[in-house]
């Protein structure tokens, strides 16, 4: 009997936790054309309420090209953020 009560309360906690999290917000996408490529920025909120910003910059020059990708996660409550960046380059022929 106690086991059934624990399972029922756990199920209720999972359902109410999902309801509190709210719906997943839409993604905002911006594209900026530059002289030698473009920059694409996407921003959305994750389930924890953190703002996630993804940025991809593509540069095509005479001597080669590069792609720079970064992902920033910002906690709006504390203002703390964490950024990961990768850069890939390719030399021209």
| Average pLDDT, consecutive stretches of 10 residues, N- to C-terminus, the chain (93 residues) | 64 52 71 90 89 92 87 89 91 65
* Neighbour-count burial of 93, counting CB atoms closer than 10 A to its CB (0-12 exposed, 13-18 middle, 19+ buried): exposed
The predicted model scores a pTM of 0.64
Round to whole Å and give the CA distance between 21 and 37.
38
How do residues 68-85 score in pLDDT, each as one tens digit? 999 999 988 888 999 999
């Amino acid at each position: 009997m106690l086991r059934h009560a624990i399972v029922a309360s756990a199920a209720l906690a999972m359902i109410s936790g999902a309801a509190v999290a709210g719906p997943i917000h839409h993604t905002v996408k911006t594209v900026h054309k530059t002289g030698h490529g473009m920059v694409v920025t996407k921003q959305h909120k994750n389930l924890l309420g953190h703002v996630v910003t993804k940025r991809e910059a593509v540069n095509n020059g005479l001597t080669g090209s590069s792609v720079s990708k970064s992902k920033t996660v910002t906690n709006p409550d504390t203002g703390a953020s964490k950024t990961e960046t990768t850069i890939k380059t390719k030399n021209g022929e």
